[in-house]
Structure 1
Amino acid sequence: MFSTIIEVKTMSKDYDSEFEKTVFDDLPVKHKDFDDFVNLYGGYAQLLRNWIFDAFKNGQTPYEVAREIQKSPQAQEQIELIIDLYKK
C-alpha cells in the first residue's frame, strides 16, 4: 500500500509539473527559475506553487491561472523578486 501512495503522488507531481510549466509560458519568469527559487527559498513561492496545483485540481486552464497570477500584487512581487535574482 505504501508504494502505491508514493507512485500516485509521483504521477500527480509529474503531471502538475507540466501544467505548471504551461502556466509559466504566459508569465514573464522562466519556469526553471521559479522551480529553483521554490527549492532554495520556499516561502511565498511555495504557496504560489500550491495555488497553481489547487487550480489544476479544480479544472482551471493554465491560461486562467496565469491571468489570476498577473492580477495578484503579491504574486507579481514574488515574480519580480525571482526575475531580479536570476537576471542573466
Structure 2
Amino acid sequence: MASVTVRNLPDEVHRALRIRAATNGRSTEAEIRDILETAVRPPERVKLGSLLASIAREAELTDADAELFDQLRDKTPADPMRFE
C-alpha cells in the first residue's frame, strides 16, 4: 500500500482534521484516508456497465433485440495496425 506525506499543512487545517476525526470516531490518519477516498471515488459515480444497462432499459430493448444486434454486428477480424 502506498504512503503519502503532506508537507507545510497549515496548523488550522491540521486542527480541523483532528476535530473532524474525533467527531467521526476515527484517528486523524483514518479521517484523511476517508476524505481522500471520497474525493477521488465518489459513491455517486456511475460505472460504465451500469450506465449501458440503464440506457438499454430506457430504450426498452429486449433480449430479442440484443440477439438481432449480435447477428448484425460485423464479426470480421480487424486488420493489424501497420506502422509504415
TM value normalised by structure 1: 0.27
TM value normalised by structure 2: 0.28
Name which structure has the greater RCO, CA cutoff 8 Å, separation 6+: 1
